[in-house]
Structures are given as structure tokens and as C-alpha cells.
């Protein structure tokens, strides 16, 4: 710490702090425009100039680093005059439109004009950019005449987002912020994250949806957690002005959304989905009443209309509502209770299975699995985590004892080397992508191992592009090199781990040359990757930590886990981290990026067939006794239940008769959809809780209308294990209800019929559910809604006074010692052949989320990406005679889809990529459900063999 004096106040600050930051921290306000706390200072506007003893000229406080003994004064006549002159100049080039300006009240220029008492400019220039607007998209409007050229937008786009879409252009009066060659925003590299809108101090950048709908101070605001991905960004929603944040009749409507200032996860930044993708909630297709399918309705005497289930697949049909009749809640619950009780009595509890949801809250999931286990009496409960990170949960539990991100999201920015594999970070976890960009801009090395040239590779120092499925050879060869060069961390290995010697033998043969042959990656690149990772070698700049070796962190996602050897791959990454000692410290760990908003929480709270809440094994007698005591039941089932894919098989085989599905859409998300459809059609009774009539809901007998996350309170646990509080932003439409209430009521009714007494289903609020969770799940022991401020708490948090655990395994591993596993490399289950010569890989893209139920009903998001596509390499496209945006047919052993070609360099030759969000070209018609990881039972969604056809070429041939 050093001491500086500002306006006579002595301040203790960390060396390197800017004078401006120090002053602001101490409550000394200095006028400023180009400065933004999350961006690098430029000294551009010169409004923050201060007098400094020892300098002749006033200095910008934002770029001046505090040095010991510095004496600064921020206010005097001369500085006042200078600052006023700057405001005068800015006003001279700015239309005096405050009366009709949407930014009024939140505009910094207006504020300073007021502070300096300036009614108008004293200078006589023309406004250079009058009438110059860029209005080409539904996300944001750039109105150049309001721009004060502070450069915050270009910096956020460059330093944080990494899109580099805009830059200063021209000079003098011609300067403006421009896209390349002044092209439309929608044609530029812009990813419509709106971060520039968030930091713009004037009305030059505005959210399109907000214009003309009110002044800043008029909007009531509520903050909650974004309902899309596992990053868990905190969002602030501005509501239409009125009574209690709503119209007189209590109706609420979102006007626009922005990042919550100083959020624990996302600073104040968001991606395009969080900022613009909330309008699905008011889509008129929302389900508002419980529905019963017409054939069942007839059977129950609710209607006399004859109706037989439609043959057409829900992937193709529209207007499926006509197949259902609305009923009252009480009736719907009565039907469900009757059917379930009947099934249990005739076929036993294991003839019922349930899918919980990674999009529902912790409270919803907890109650759901309690219904399955305590009321129905089966462990047949799982959710889509099976399809994304089951191998993480299995693999990291074996290696470390805990299957979650070891470190926090914000630690990534301080890493010296970031190693990303199988994660399209900028599109699937955009705000974590921002962290990676920040690390790189500060000089960290980024190494990416991915068969696709995903956008984050733009920032990579090294991109290794193995043939899909061969990455395991690359990782093992990296470890071979680390051993050969003796880059291992001997003291970490001996003190903290076990099994090293056996492991060592397993990579001794796997030289980079062998790996190169298998994977197509150059041996020298594998060696370089090994060095950068093992030694944490930076590209430039100095490490924040000053250790002997730099700090490296691994980020991975579904490219690793959705594989038939997923568990083995996860353990391989764990080996890599342990041998180099990159664990248990800030910015240094193994970090699986979890996909959905609450997939971490759904796993934590026992929506898995083999564990109770808190990963307590159902097979463990003590755990059973403990949970049975909390739930006040005499006993609990001790056999692990069926996983997602197994459930579908059991339904088809007739072993499972009834399915309860809460907010999941297996008809889009599961591999080999044809198979899923067959299973769902053959089930005797299917219940789906949903917000829209999804592809799955269309096959249900009873559909229950659910509240979306914008209409719920309760909690989500994000990918870094942070439990965060949601607040009800909107009222749930029509009769739709929060899931925890619905399932608690169902639990009560089933228990009553089965004469199970004493089990608590009376939850007055989600807070009451959390109180029971904390009794049942040790990691959540100290968590209650009262304790959760805007920061939330990271688990493990065992007691009410525990501060939470942002970094795992600091002193010892959860399982004691870290365990090395000696694995064998293996190839994907389905390899290409002459008939199916292409490798298909699937995944997400930026503007859509999962099965598209929400994002495809969001106007701006679907405007940007309305249609499905397949990415194909330009060389392959040329060979097949494909044309950009023209039809392509893709066929696997299981199904075929027709979609459009997107030709380029993102995938290598011989590989195609299909995003899985589009029902009309559903990637999962092609994927396979045969090859499951032996441990985690996760299907190999990431790799299968397909052939690619050009329908145009075909018809040309048949014609000739």
C-alpha cells in the first residue's frame, strides 16, 4: 500500500491504482466521460484533469497511476474553466434535444452541462453528424449526432467482448465510430451483445425496444438472473411505468434489460440472449391453462369428440393446440394422481419415471425429485445433464471428489494461460468468453483444442484442430511431453495426489509423433501447447501472481463430455492439471462449463437417479437414513434409477408406463429423436409441464402450464456453484403456475392416496423449500434466501456463518488426495466409411438456446438467425457443388434432414456442424443413442458419421 493525498485527504491505495479510481473510492467525485471502471483508461476526454504537485500541466486523473507521496488537487478555478470549456466544445457538436431525448436523466453530457450551468454552447460550430443514424437491426440504434467520441463503445467491444466490430474512423470533424467501410451493423462482426449500449454515456447508442417508451427515472426496476445459460448473469429489467411496476390492473411489462451494475458474475455485461431475449415471455403462444389430450378426454368422459393421435411428427406440425382441451387445475391434478396411483399399484413404483429440468429453479427440482422418491418411491429421476455433463460429474468425482468448476468465473481474466477444449465459449457461454478475451488482452496465452474454428480461436495463440474424436491423443501426448521435459510439479504430485506412477506408464509410449498421425495435429504444436500450459507461459505482460510458474486454467465443455469415452476424457484433463500443479489456487483449475441456467443446481439437488440432494448416494445406507429422516419417510429406494436414455428404452420395452416431464424437451435435445418419438408415443401416460406446447408436450396426455424463470422467485446455481436469487419480474400468464407449487400439490395428493403420512408438502414459499434443502444437502447447509444478496453464495456452504467456497480443493481434495487414472486412448464409436464419409458434430450457436422454445420466439434473436444451417468447409462445398444458403441434405444411419449450407473455414474438411436448435432441421434426428459412455451413460452426441448430398446436383442428374 502507498499513500497519496487528494484534496488534503490522505489515502491508502494499492500501487498501480489510478488517481481517479482512488478518488472515486474515497468518495471524491471528479468529472469524467471517457473513463469507465471496467475498461482501460485512455485519457481521451480530458475532463478528469487534476493538478498534481511536480507537474506543470494538469494531468488526466484516469491515466495517472498513484505513486507514493503524490499530492493532487481536483478542484480550483483553473480546472473548472478547463472542464467547462470541454463541455462547451462537446455541446457545440451536439443537438440540444434534451426535451425529447430518451436518455434524458441518465446522460452524462446533460449532467455536466447542468453541473457547469450551461444552457447552451458559446461556440459556433455546425453539428457535424446531424441526421446520421445507423438503424439496420432490432437490437440497437446508433444515432451519431449524439456521440461525444468518448470511445467507451469501441473499447468494450475490443477489450471485453472481443468482437472488434467498431473503431474510430476519419479525423477531425469527420471522425465517427464506424463499422468497417460503414457497413450495416448486422453485416459487421457485431454480436449484438449490447455492451456498447450499456457503457455509452449519451443517447448515441440505445436499445431499440426502449425508444419512446419513457424516461430513465420513470421505469421501476427489478433484478434477477438470466434464464438462459449456466453463466448466470445478473440482469436488471426496466418495467413499463405504472403502479407497483405495472399497470393499474397489476399487469407488468418489460421495456428493456441491462446488466446489473457490479454483478458478481458478469460485472455489468451480458450477451445478446440475456439483453434482448426476454420477449418470449409475452409471446401469445404461452400456455395459460392445463390441457388434456382429446383421446384421453374422451376416455375420461370430459368430451365426446372422437380423436386419434396424429401420425405426423411434432417436429413438422403446427397448431397442435387443437389436439387438446383445456381443463381446470384441480381436474388436471386429479387425472394425474389417478393415473400415477393406478400405475404404481399395478406395476410398482419403478414403472414411473421423471425428467426434472435444468431450466427450473433449485426449489422446483428439489420438490420434483422428492415427489419421485418420497411420494412415488422410485429413483427413476434424471434430467438433461445426462446429455451434457454426466461424464464431468462422474470423472471429476473420481479424480477430485467433486464434479463442478473448481474456480470462479472472474478468476479467468487473471490467468497466465487459458486452455480451452471442446467449448465454443464465445457462443455457448458468452460472458465467460469475455473473461477469456480480457485475459488475452492482458497478455495471457490462449490455447484452443477444437475440431472447429470456433470464434474464440480468433484470440488464440495456438489452435490445434484435431479430427473429431482424436483429441485424447493430443492430450496424452501433451502429458508425454510434460514428463519428458520434466515440467511436472513434483511437490504437488507428491503431497496432494496418488496413482502417479501407474499413470506415468500409460503415457510413456504416446509421443507427439504418434498423436500427430492419429489426430492430424502437428507434433511441434502439441509440444508448444504442452509448454504453454504446463509452465503457464504468457504471451506478454507480467503475471498478476508472481509465482515460479504461471497459472493455467482449463475450460472445457460438451466437446469433451458428449462422447462415448467422456468420463475418460474428463479424467485425462484432471491428470493434465494435477501433473502441472494447476489446481487449488486462484485462476488455476479444471472448469467444466455447464450449459443451462440451472443445470448445476438440478444435479446438486438430486435430479439424478443415483444420488439424493447433495450427491449423497442412494446406495449408501447412512445417506438413505439421513435423507429419510429429513423427509420423514420410513424408507427410501436403494437401487439407482434409470437415466434419460435408459428411461426412453424402458418406456419402449413397456417397463416404464408413466412419465413425468418438467420443462424438458427430449424430442429435440435427445439423440436419435425418431427413437424418442417412438418411445413417447408408446407410453401409457405422459405429463409435461411447459411454458410452450413444445415438441415433447405435443405428445403428452396432460400438459401443465408453467411459469418461466422471469415469473419465479427461488434460486439458480450457476456453473461456478454460485447460488443466486431470482426475483419475480413478471406475473405468470393466465393460470400458469410455479413448478414447485404444482409438484408439492401432486406429492400431497399421491401420498394421501397411497396412505403415506407425515411427509411435508406444505411450502409457503420458495424460501421454505430452501430451508428444507439446507437440511438435506450438506453443501447447501448454510444457504437460505435471507442470506442471498445480489452476490449470492458459492457452495460448499455448510453452515449459516460460512462465507461460501469460490475455489475448491485449496488445501486438500474433496476426496482427500487427487487421483491419477491411467486411461487408454480410444476412438469414437461410429467412424466414417465410404457410405457415410463425413463426421457430424453438433452444438449451440450464439443467438439460440437449446431446443429453441424460448429464443425462437424472441423477435430480435430469431430476426438475426431465423433458419437452420449446416457448416461445411469450402473445399468440400466446392467438391459437392454446394452454394451458400442453398439446400443440403444430410443423412445418417438414423435419419435425414434438409437444411441450408453455410460455407467457410469454421469446420475442417470432412467435418460438418449442425446447431441443434431448429426443429425443421433437427440435428438430433441424425445423432446416435447406441454408444453410451460406460460410466456416465452419456450418449456420443458430438461425433457420428453422415453423408452430405446436394439436392440440386441430384435433380440435375435425374433430369438428364
Partner 1 sequence: MSVAIENRAELSKELAAFVEEWRNKPGNLIMVLHKIQEEYGYVPEPVAREVARRLRVPEAQVFGVLTFYNFFNLEPPGKHRIAVCMGTACYLKGGGSILEDLSEYLNVPINGVTADKQFSLQAVRCIGCCGLAPAVLIDGEVVGKLTKEKMRETLKKYRENTQEALVTSQAL
Q: Does 64 bind ligand FES (CB under 6 A)?
A: no
> If we measure between CA atoms, which residue out of 312, 311, 294 comes closest to residue 303?
294
Q: Does 574 bind ligand FES (CB under 6 A)?
A: no
Choose, by CB under 8 A, the member of 166, 396, 658, 931 that binds partner 1: 166
Convert 842-893 into a string of H (helix), E (strand) and C (coil). EECCCCCCCCCCCHHHCHHHHHHCCCCCEEEEHHHHHHHCCCCCCEEEEECC
Pure H helices in 238-373: 272-276, 294-299, 329-347, 362-370
CA-CA distance, 733 to 711, in Å (whole number)? 9
CA-CA distance, 173 to 190, in Å (whole number)? 25
CA-CA distance, 456 to 555, in Å (whole number)? 12
Distances in Å between the Cα of 121 and the Cα atoms of 88, 94, 100, 271 are 5, 9, 19, 38
Report DSSP letters for 575-609, one per residue.
HHHHHTT--SBTTBSEEE---BTTHHHHHHTT-BT
Report DSSP letters for 346-374, one per residue.
HH-GGGEEEE--TTS-HHHHHHHHHIIII
Residue ranges that bind ligand SF4, judged by CB under 6 A: 147-153, 156-157, 161, 163, 165-166, 177, 190-196, 200-202, 204-205, 226, 228-229, 231-233, 266, 270-271, 273-274, 430-431
| 427 vs 471 by CB, closer to ligand SF4 | 427
Residue at grid coordinates 436518455: 103
> Which triple of cell numbers denotes residue 170?
476519419
> Which triple of cell numbers denotes residue 172?
477531425
Helix (H, G, I), strand (E, B) or coil at 553: strand
Cis peptide before 59, with omega less than 30 degrees from 0?
Answer: no
> If we measure between CA atoms, which residue out of 814, 935, 370 comes closest to residue 605?
370
Closest-approach residue to ligand SF4 (CB) = 274
Helix (H) or strand (E) holding 569: helix 566-579
Choose, by CB under 8 A, the member of 93, 102, 143, 158 that binds partner 1: 158
CA-CA distance, 929 to 933, in Å (whole number)? 11
Strand-pair partners of 177: 168
CA-CA distance, 661 to 799, in Å (whole number)? 33
Q: Does 46 bind ligand FES (CB under 6 A)?
A: yes
> Which of partner 1, ligand FES, ligand SF4, none does residue 152 bind to, with CB < 5 to 8 Å depending on kind?
ligand SF4
Q: Does 950 bind partner 1 (CB under 8 A)?
A: no
Choose, by CB under 6 A, the member of 11, 39, 62, 651 that binds ligand FES: 62
Min separation Cβ 434 and ligand SF4, Å: 9
Min separation Cβ 900 and ligand SF4, Å: 24
> If we measure between CA atoms, which residue out of 363, 251, 215 comes closest to residue 662?
363
| 472 vs 890 by CB, closer to partner 1 | 890
> Which triple of cell numbers denotes residue 420?
480451452
Min separation Cβ 880 and ligand FES, Å: 54
Query: For the chain, how are helix, strand and coil distributed in percent, rounded to 5?
Result: 35, 20, 45
Q: Does 149 bind ligand FES (CB under 6 A)?
A: no
| 165 vs 732 by CB, closer to partner 1 | 165
Q: Please, which of residues 874-893 interact with partner 1 by CB under 8 A? A: 874, 877-878, 882-884
CA-CA distance, 280 to 239, in Å (whole number)? 16
Q: Please, which of residues 408-467 interact with partner 1 by CB under 8 A? A: 458
- Quick check: 716 and 232 in contact, CB under 8 A? yes
Choose, by CB under 8 A, the member of 170, 309, 541, 866 that binds partner 1: 170
Q: Does 200 bind partner 1 (CB under 8 A)?
A: no
| 82 vs 867 by CB, closer to ligand FES | 82
Query: Residues in contact with partner 1, total (CB under 8 A)?
Result: 27
Q: Does 18 bind partner 1 (CB under 8 A)?
A: no
> Which of partner 1, ligand FES, ligand SF4, none does residue 161 bind to, with CB < 5 to 8 Å depending on kind?
ligand SF4
| 180 vs 866 by CB, closer to partner 1 | 180
Q: Does 216 bind partner 1 (CB under 8 A)?
A: no
Q: Does 48 bind ligand FES (CB under 6 A)?
A: yes
Min separation Cβ 558 and partner 1, Å: 27
Choose, by CB under 6 A, the member of 6, 13, 23, 47 that binds ligand FES: 47
CA-CA distance, 674 to 691, in Å (whole number)? 23
CA-CA distance, 634 to 756, in Å (whole number)? 9
- Quick check: 58 and 81 in contact, CB under 8 A? no
Helix (H, G, I), strand (E, B) or coil at 112: helix
Q: Please, which of residues 760-819 interact with partner 1 by CB under 8 A? A: none
| 195 vs 853 by CB, closer to ligand SF4 | 195
CA-CA distance, 739 to 282, in Å (whole number)? 19
Query: Residues in contact with ligand FES, total (CB under 6 A)?
Result: 12
Angle at 672 between CA 915 and CA 355, to 5 degrees: 90
Q: Does 15 bind partner 1 (CB under 8 A)?
A: no
Choose, by CB under 8 A, the member of 5, 73, 92, 169 that binds partner 1: 169
Stretch that binds ligand FES, among 45-53, 528-536, 711-719, 782-790 (CB under 6 A): 45-53
Min separation Cβ 148 and partner 1, Å: 18
Q: Is 119 exposed, middle or buried (0-12, 13-18, 19+ CB in 10 A)?
A: exposed
> Which of partner 1, ligand SF4, ligand FES, none does residue 253 bind to, with CB < 5 to 8 Å depending on kind?
none
CA-CA distance, 916 to 923, in Å (whole number)? 5
Min separation Cβ 42 and ligand FES, Å: 7
Min separation Cβ 204 and partner 1, Å: 17
> Which of ligand FES, partner 1, ligand SF4, none does residue 273 bind to, with CB < 5 to 8 Å depending on kind?
ligand SF4
Q: Please, which of residues 6-35 interact with ligand FES by CB under 6 A? A: 32-35
Who's near 330: CB < 8 A, 6+ residues apart? Answer: none
Site string for partner 1, 850-879 (x = CB under 8 A): ------------------------x--xx-
> Which of ligand FES, partner 1, ligand SF4, none does residue 755 bind to, with CB < 5 to 8 Å depending on kind?
none
Q: Does 180 bind partner 1 (CB under 8 A)?
A: yes
- Quick check: 13 and 66 in contact, CB under 8 A? yes
- Quick check: 601 and 357 in contact, CB under 8 A? no
> Which of ligand FES, partner 1, ligand SF4, none does residue 338 bind to, with CB < 5 to 8 Å depending on kind?
none
> Which of ligand FES, partner 1, ligand SF4, none does residue 364 bind to, with CB < 5 to 8 Å depending on kind?
none
Min separation Cβ 461 and partner 1, Å: 11
DSSP letter at 625 equals H
Q: Does 770 bind ligand FES (CB under 6 A)?
A: no
Strand-pair partners of 903: 872
> Which of partner 1, ligand SF4, ligand FES, none does residue 731 bind to, with CB < 5 to 8 Å depending on kind?
none
Q: How many CA atoms lie within 13 A of 568 on its CB side?
A: 22
- Quick check: 767 and 786 in contact, CB under 8 A? yes
Min separation Cβ 8 and ligand FES, Å: 22
Stretch that binds ligand FES, among 40-48, 105-113, 443-451, 944-952 (CB under 6 A): 40-48
Phi first, then psi, for residue 549 (nearest 5°) are -115, 150
CA-CA distance, 192 to 612, in Å (whole number)? 41
> Which of ligand FES, partner 1, ligand SF4, none does residue 181 bind to, with CB < 5 to 8 Å depending on kind?
partner 1
Site string for partner 1, 99-138 (x = CB under 8 A): ----------------------------------------
Q: Does 109 bind ligand FES (CB under 6 A)?
A: no
Q: Does 179 bind partner 1 (CB under 8 A)?
A: yes
> Where does this chain bind ligand FES (CB under 6 A)?
32-35, 43-48, 60, 62
> Where does this chain bind partner 1 (CB under 8 A)?
154, 158, 164-171, 174, 178-181, 188-189, 458, 874, 877-878, 882-884, 903-905
Amino acid at each position: 500500500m502507498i499513500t497519496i493525498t487528494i484534496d488534503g485527504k490522505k489515502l491508502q491505495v494499492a500501487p498501480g491504482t489510478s488517481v481517479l479510481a482512488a478518488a472515486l473510492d474515497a468518495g471524491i467525485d471528479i468529472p469524467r466521460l471517457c473513463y469507465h471502471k471496467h475498461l482501460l483508461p485512455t485519457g481521451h476526454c480530458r475532463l478528469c484533469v487534476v493538478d498534481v504537485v511536480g507537474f506543470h500541466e494538469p494531468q488526466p486523473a484516469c491515466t495517472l497511476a498513484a505513486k507514493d507521496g503524490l499530492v493532487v488537487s481536483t478542484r480550483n478555478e483553473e480546472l473548472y474553466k478547463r472542464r467547462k470549456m470541454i463541455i462547451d466544445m462537446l455541446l457545440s457538436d451536439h443537438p440540444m434535444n434534451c426535451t425529447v431525448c430518451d436518455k434524458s436523466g441518465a446522460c452524462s453530457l446533460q449532467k455536466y452541462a447542468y453541473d457547469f450551468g450551461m444552457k447552451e454552447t458559446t461556440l459556433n460550430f455546425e453539428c457535424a453528424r446531424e441526421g446520421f443514424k445507423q438503424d439496420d437491426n432490432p437490437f440497437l440504434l446508433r444515432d451519431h449526432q449524439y456521440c461525444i467520441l468518448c470511445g467507451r463503445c469501441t473499447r468494450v467491444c475490443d477489450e471485453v467482448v472481443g468482437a472488434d466490430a467498431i473503431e474510430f474512423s476519419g479525423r477531425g470533424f469527420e471522425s465517427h465510430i464506424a463499422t468497417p467501410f460503414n457497413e450495416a451493423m448486422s453485416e459487421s462482426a457485431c454480436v449484438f451483445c449490447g455492451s456498447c449500449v450499456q457503457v455509452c454515456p449519451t443517447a448515441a447508442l440505445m436499445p431499440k425496444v426502449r425508444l419512446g417508451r419513457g424516461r430513465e427515472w420513470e421505469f421501476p426496476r427489478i433484478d434477477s438472473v438470466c434464464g438462459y445459460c449456466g453463466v448466470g448473469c445478473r440482469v436488471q429489467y426496466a418495467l413499463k411505468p405504472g403502479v407497483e411496476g405495472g399497470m393499474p390492473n397489476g399487469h407488468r411489462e418489460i421495456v428493456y434489460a441491462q446488466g446489473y451494475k457490479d454483478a458478481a458474475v458478469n460485472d455489468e455485461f451480458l450477451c445478446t440472449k440475456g439483453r434482448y431475449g426476454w420477449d418470449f415471455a409475452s409471446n401469445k403462444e404461452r400456455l395459460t391453462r392445463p390441457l388434456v389430450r382429446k383421446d384421453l378426454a374422451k376416455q375420461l368422459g370430459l368430451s365426446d369428440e372422437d380423436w386419434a393421435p396424429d401420425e405426423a411428427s411434432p417436429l413438422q406440425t403446427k397448431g397442435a393446440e387443437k389436439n387438446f382441451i383445456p381443463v381446470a387445475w384441480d381436474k388436471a391434478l386429479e387425472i394425474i394422481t389417478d393415473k400415477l396411483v393406478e400405475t404404481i399399484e399395478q406395476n410398482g413404483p419403478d414403472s414411473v419415471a421423471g425428467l426434472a429440468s435444468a431450466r427450473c429453479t433449485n426449489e422446483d427440482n428439489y420438490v420434483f425429485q422428492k415427489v419421485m422418491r418420497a411420494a412415488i418411491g422410485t429413483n427413476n429421476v434424471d434430467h438433461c445433464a445426462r446429455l451434457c455433463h454426466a461424464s464431468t460429474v462422474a470423472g471429476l468425482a473420481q479424480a477430485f471428489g467433486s464434479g463442478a468448476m473448481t474456480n470462479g468465473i472472474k478468476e479467468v481474466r487473471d490467468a497466465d494461460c487459458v486452455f480451452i477444449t471442446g467449448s465454443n465459449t464465445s457462443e455457448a457461454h458468452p460472458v465467460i468468453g469475455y473473461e477469456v478475451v480480457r485475459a488475452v488482452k492482458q497478455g495471457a496465452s490462449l490455447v484452443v483444442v477444437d475440431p472447429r474454428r470456433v470464434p474464440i480461436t480468433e484470440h488464440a495463440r495456438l489452435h490445434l484442430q484435431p479430427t473429431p474424436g482424436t483429441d485424447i491423443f493430443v492430450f496424452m501426448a501433451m502429458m508425454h511431453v510434460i514428463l519428458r521435459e520434466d515440467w511436472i510439479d513434483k511437490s504437488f504430485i507428491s503431497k496432494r495426489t496418488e496413482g502417479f506412477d501407474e499413470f506415468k506408464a500409460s503415457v510413456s509410449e504416446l509421443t507427439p509423433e504418434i498423436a500427430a498421425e492419429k489426430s492430424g495435429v502437428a507434433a511441434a504444436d502439441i509440444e508448444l501447447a504442452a509448454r504453454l500450459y504446463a509452465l503457464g507461459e504468457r504471451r506478454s505482460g507480467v503475471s498478476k501472481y508472481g509465482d515460479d510458474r504461471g497459472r493455467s486454467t482449463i475450460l472445457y465443455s460438451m466437446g469433451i463430455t458428449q462422447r462415448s469415452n467422456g468420463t475418460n476424457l474428463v479424467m485425462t484433463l484432471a491428470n493434465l492439471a494435477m501433473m502441472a500443479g494447476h489446481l487449488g489456487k486462484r485462476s488455476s483449475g479444471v472448469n467444466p462449463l455447464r450449459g443451462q441456467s440451472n443445470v448445476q443446481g438440478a444435479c446438486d439437488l438430486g435430479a439424478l437417479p443415483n444420488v439424493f440432494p447433495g450427491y449423497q448416494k442412494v446406495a449408501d445406507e447412512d445417506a438413505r437414513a439421513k435423507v429419510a429422516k429429513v423427509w420423514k419417510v420410513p424408507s427410501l429406494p436403494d437401487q439407482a434409477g434409470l437415466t434419460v436414455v435408459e428411461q426412453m428404452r424402458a418406456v419402449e420395452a413397456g417397463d416404464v408406463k408413466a412419465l413425468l416431464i418438467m420443462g424438458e424437451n427430449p424430442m429435440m435435445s435427445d439423440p436419435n429423436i425418431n427413437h424418442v418419438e417412438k418411445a413417447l408415443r408408446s407410453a401409457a401416460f405422459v405429463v409435461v409441464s411447459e411454458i410452450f406446447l413444445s415438441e415433447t408436450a405435443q405428445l403428452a396426455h396432460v400438459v401443465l402450464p408453467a411459469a418461466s424463470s422471469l415469473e419465479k422467485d427461488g434460486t439458480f446455481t450457476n456453473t461456478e456453484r454460485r447460488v443466486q436469487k431470482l426475483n419475480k419480474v413478471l406475473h405468470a400468464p393466465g393460470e400458469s403456475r410455479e413448478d414447485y407449487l404444482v409438484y408439492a400439490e401432486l406429492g400431497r395428493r399421491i401420498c394421501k392416496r397411497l396412505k403415506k403420512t407425515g411427509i411435508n408438502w406444505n411450502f409457503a414459499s420458495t424460501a421454505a423449500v430452501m430451508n428444507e434443502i439446507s437440511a438435506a444437502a450438506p453443501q447447501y447447509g448454510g444457504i437460505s434466501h435471507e442470506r442471498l444478496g445480489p452476490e449470492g453464495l458459492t457452495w460448499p456452504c455448510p453452515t449459516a456463518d460460512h462465507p461460501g467456497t469460490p475455489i475448491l480443493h485449496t488445501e486438500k481434495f474433496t476426496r482427500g488426495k487427487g487421483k491419477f487414472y491411467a486411461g487408454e486412448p480410444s476412438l469414437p464409436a461410429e467412424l466414417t466409411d465410404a457410405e457415410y464419409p463425413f463426421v457430424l458434430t453438433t452444438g449451440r450457436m450464439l443467438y439460440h438456446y437449446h431446443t429453441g422454445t424460448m429464443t425462437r420466439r424472441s423477435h430480435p434473436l430469431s430476426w438475426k438467425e431465423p433458419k437452420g444451417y449446416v457448416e461445411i468447409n469450402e473445399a468440400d462445398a466446392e467438391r459437392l457443388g454446394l452454394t451458400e444458403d442453398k439446400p443440403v441434405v444430410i443423412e445418417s444411419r438414423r435419419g435425414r434432414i434438409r437444411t441450408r449450407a453455410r460455407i467457410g473455414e469454421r469446420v475442417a474438411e470432412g467435418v460438418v456442424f449442425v446447431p441443434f436448435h431448429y426443429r425443421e432441421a433437427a440435428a438430433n434426428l441424425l445423432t446416435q443413442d447406441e454408444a453410451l459412455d460406460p460410466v456416465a451413460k452419456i450418449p456420443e452426441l458430438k461425433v457420428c458419421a453422415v453423408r452430405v448430398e446436394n439436392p440440386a446436383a441430384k435433380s440435375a442428374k435425374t433430369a438428364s
